[in-house]
Structure 1
């Protein structure tokens, strides 16, 4: 799946490749932030998006936001469309050109063998791509560059089973502690206990459940035995 088709299919979560290639696309973080507000309009029911609203949200002036609009359009990352609907003028921000440029950038990176541009393939069905999508769906937010790097290390350097990472994510979500440090702590504890596969996790859970059943049975036997002494 290309970045453009990813966008056109209605995905609200930005592809991580956009973050990894941020410096290849955007002039500065302010422009990127303004572009994200435009993307928000494209992917939600937000009807009106005024420069003054963006300026207030990011702590900048309207003039600053307008300059970002100019730089984004000049860089081919944004198209601003003015349309007339029943006599009312509306402004539409089309953010798809940024995804088209990203696709071109990734394609060129593959042809040139550039690791800096294509270090983290997002649209090729890779295991890392799938993990990123799972994390972002479960956590309801984008992963930070730090989290993406740590996730990549778990796969490549620590050689952690992707299925085990997903189990740690599930446990963190179940416990209501969806921060990265907690997920890392779960994986560290499992490694210390020699747990390296999902099968081991399932066996430990079954063993734990079996002990609970035995405890309940013992309590019931004790109750029945105690009843013998009752007149």
Structure 2
């Protein structure tokens, strides 16, 4: 390596170090598969941690995540929804009364709890093996409550992803993480069928009120009136428009 090459390399290294260094839990890199994470989901978590540590952004937009990952917004949104559903992330809302602004941020406490539980289980396993320090491939004793890699989960992810795509087309823009969490809540907490959610979206389009609060009110009204499918929606609409 001659002098010019050496100066070029050292200059590049210096610039890179001055740009900042993110601290990533080593266990996340070595055990992500055992935690039920894919490589792309792990990289997404790393980017979120880096945004917070280097750029001071607690809630990067989908556009910013697209720029650093080079991936489709609906795919990123689907992965965020999964990370939230399985307890690796939370979205926390707050407000700054002095500046009069509301904000959202990602909470990583679930991720750290899972990493801590994993390490504790490995220590227990090592102790049971006579302190040999071996990590068994059967780290199945770790119960993380994530339903890791169950065959049936693939359908649920595809179902959610299709909903994201339909909503993005109707809204004409990428969905925000909070909007993705709302859809996740409709599916996982409220147990609304995908068909019913799409029908509520259709109703909001016809009414010219394409926003999540209006769609949520439609779903709540249908739930109170035991509307569960397209046939029920049709009967309820006829009854409602006919003055009951």
**Which structure: larger Rg?**
1
Shared fold, TM over 0.5:
no
**TM-score (ref. length: structure 1):** 0.42
